[in-house]
């Protein structure tokens, strides 16, 4: 379903064109219906990995496949949903107009689009604020709208970069609920997060990324129940050497 084979990506400094690796031979695979959490300290390469998987960046070496297609191929993009980190959208549009716009990019028909937008606004508790311009939205509201736009095409695979970022405890609970609902519907979920208790609650499997390399990967049940670790945080700190 999602496959990364030896992904490498270098950062080229503007001075002397010196290269430093962001990703260094990353390989991982996520099965259909699995919820996979990619963990790692800041600068480990999590966001770069997601950006390669959704086609915003190209690997220098290696290849990335999503739903059997090359990452970023139009046919793959039709079936995925993506939430960027700290999303910020068009300030002069209302939340409703924005979701309609995203639906139009998928070619949704008028009635189908109207129903889908209504349904998603309810899902992320944004119905009341749907007619306000987005410049008046708080960070949490933008995050909710970002989640809604990532689901407009009822995707088979969801990529969420820090979905809990900027949300209050109620918002985090709601997002957890959406994640569990998507999981129950058999969707494949790939997400990055720093909030380890949330990851522990929803993921089937996690990978730990450090300095561009996958240093550990295991199922949550093995980590918490039989792996001799108190919780995911202890496992994470052990693997990244914190």
CB of residue 57 to other proteins, shortest distance in Å: 5
Q: Are the C-beta atoms of residues 36 and 205 closer than 8 Å to each other?
A: yes
CB of residue 118 to other proteins, shortest distance in Å: 18
Closer to other proteins at the Cβ: 154 or 238? 154
Q: Which stretch binds other proteins (CB under 8 A): 34-42, 84-92, 194-202, 205-213?
A: 84-92
Q: Are the C-beta atoms of residues 20 and 9 closer than 8 Å to each other?
A: no
- 51 contacts other proteins (rule: CB under 8 A): yes
Tokens of 223: 């980590």
The rounded radius of gyration (Å) of the Cα atoms in the chain is: 18
Q: Which stretch binds other proteins (CB under 8 A): 13-21, 87-95, 121-129, 182-190?
A: 87-95
- 106 contacts other proteins (rule: CB under 8 A): yes
- 143 contacts other proteins (rule: CB under 8 A): no
- 101 contacts other proteins (rule: CB under 8 A): yes
- 121 contacts other proteins (rule: CB under 8 A): no
- 180 contacts other proteins (rule: CB under 8 A): no
Q: Which stretch binds other proteins (CB under 8 A): 36-44, 94-102, 207-215, 227-235?
A: 94-102
CB of residue 146 to other proteins, shortest distance in Å: 8
Count residues near other proteins (CB under 8 A).
Answer: 29
Report the interface residues with other proteins, using CB under 8 A.
Answer: 48, 51, 54-58, 74, 77-78, 80, 82, 84, 86-93, 97, 101-102, 104-107, 149
């Amino acid at each position: 379903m999602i496959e990364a084979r030896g992904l490498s990506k270098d950062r080229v400094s503007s001075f002397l064109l010196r290269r430093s690796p962001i990703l260094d031979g990353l390989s991982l695979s996520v099965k259909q219906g699995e919820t996979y959490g990619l963990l790692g300290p800041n600068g480990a390469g999590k966001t770069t990995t997601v950006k390669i998987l959704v086609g915003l960046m190209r690997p220098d070496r290696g290849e990335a496949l999503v739903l059997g297609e090359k990452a970023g191929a139009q046919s793959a993009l039709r079936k995925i949903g993506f939430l960027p980190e700290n999303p910020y959208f068009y300030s002069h549009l209302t939340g409703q107009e924005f979701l309609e716009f995203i639906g139009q990019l998928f070619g949704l028909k008028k009635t189908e689009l109207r129903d889908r937008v209504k349904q998603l606004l309810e899902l992320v508790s944004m119905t009341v604020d749907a007619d306000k311009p987005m410049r008046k939205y708080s960070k949490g509201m933008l995050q909710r709208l970002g989640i809604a736009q990532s689901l407009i095409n009822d995707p088979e695979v969801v990529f969420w970069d820090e979905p809990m970022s900027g949300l209050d405890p109620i918002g985090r609970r709601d997002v957890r609920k959406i994640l569990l609902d998507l999981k129950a519907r058999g969707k494949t979920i790939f997400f990055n997060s720093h909030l380890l208790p949330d990851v522990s609650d929803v993921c089937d499997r996690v990978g730990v990324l450090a300095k561009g390399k996958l240093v550990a990967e295991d199922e949550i049940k093995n980590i918490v129940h039989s792996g001799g670790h108190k919780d995911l945080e202890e496992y994470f700190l052990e693997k990244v050497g914190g």
